Amino acid sequence: MENYDDIINLQHYEPKYHRRMKLEARAAQFAPFAALTGYGNAVEETARLTDNRIELNEEEKELLDQKLELLKKEIKMLPGIKITYFIPDNKKSGGKYVTVTGNLKRIDEYKRTIVLENKKEIPINEIIKLEKNILQI
């Protein structure tokens, strides 16, 4: 006698007082369960990489200041510029470097920002590279 030969041909049990559960409802009871709510987000945040801030030396800072002075003289022509600057991360140490292009509207010396024509403000202290763009936007 093989295993289960005694029950293999028996009729399946049908409940007397309630209907059989639909397959969709049955599958739902085996849906994934997140016992540690937010754990996945925490792991993703920890795995997210940030760049370290680059500190300019005195020579590089002086060169950047000279470029800003030249741009101040040309500000009425709305010169096209390309800026690479650091955006600090709000959640962890470091941040990211972003490069933007646009037309210079003004240099706000009180707030120490460069304001582009599209109203984007860039902190001068976070700039690591400033170039005059040949093509104006």
> Residue 121's pLDDT is what?
95
Sign of CA dihedral 84, 88, 93, 98: negative
Q: Can you give the pTM of this predicted structure?
A: 0.67
Buried b (16+ CB within 10 A) or exposed e, 26-46: eeeeeeeeeeeeeeeeeeeee
- pLDDT per residue, tens digit, the chain (137 aa), is 578 888 888 888 888 888 888 887 777 777 776 677 788 888 888 888 888 989 999 999 999 999 999 998 988 888 899 999 999 998 888 899 999 999 999 999 899 999 999 999 999 999 999 998 755 44
Sheet holding 127-132, edge to edge: 121-123, 113-116, 95-108, 80-88, 127-132
CATH class of the domain at 58-132:
mainly beta
Domain locations along the chain = 58-132
